[in-house]
Amino acid sequence: MTATPRITYYVAASLDGFIAARDGGLDWLTPFDSTGEDYGYQALLAETDAIIMGRSTYRHCLAMGGGRWPYPDTPSHILTSWLPREETPPPAVHFTDSDPPALVNALAQQGRQRIWLVGGGETAGHFLRADLIDCLILSIIPVVLGDGVPLFGTAGDRPGKLPTTGRSLKLEATQTYPSGLVQLRYARGTSIKD
């Protein structure tokens, strides 16, 4: 029997719950990236044996790396309903239109056990709705954006509805940093559905 992989959504969000500006911009994170602190990023990456993200996040990662893929040693799976025909992805990148449960099952069959769900919000919302997020590492940035891409997107039944599984989360750890960033680590809690 194949073990179920552990999925960690490691993400930064503004105080008002946005992971990017409305246009997808991340300039508001720059002051926090320049502190020299990695906020546990390298440790997470070292234990990750597969990456999942949506197409917009994939394009953003490529742009930030000047066209170079930042995770060449880790199999990366890009969830998208638009499968590129002309584009040749980096060697470690695989495009898929699988739904989250099918993708996680396929990764389990490959022996992948520690998956980093990079995002974005829409992709994370689909994983939340499918009750597939085991760990949420949320870095709260002391900035109010007022508008933007929500932490869990709008993957609910209507725009703005937070997709929910009816599950509580269990706080495992908190960490504060001199920059004002607060990092919260949550594990999957119990079901709160009737």
How confident is the model over 55-112, as pLDDT tens digits? 999 999 998 888 899 999 999 999 998 877 667 888 999 999 999 999 999 999 999 9
Distance CA 19, CA 176 (A): 19
pTM: predicted TM-score of the whole model, two decimal places:
0.91
pLDDT at residue 164 in the model? 58
What b/e string do you get for 100-122 counting C-beta neighbours within 10 Å, with b at 16 or more? Answer: beebbeebbeeebbbbbbbbbbb
Closest Cα partner for 47 from 15, 93, 8, 14? 8
Closest Cα partner for 110 from 147, 79, 74, 71? 74
Are the C-beta atoms of 143 and 26 separated by less than 8 Å? no
CATH of domain 6-191: 3.40.430.10
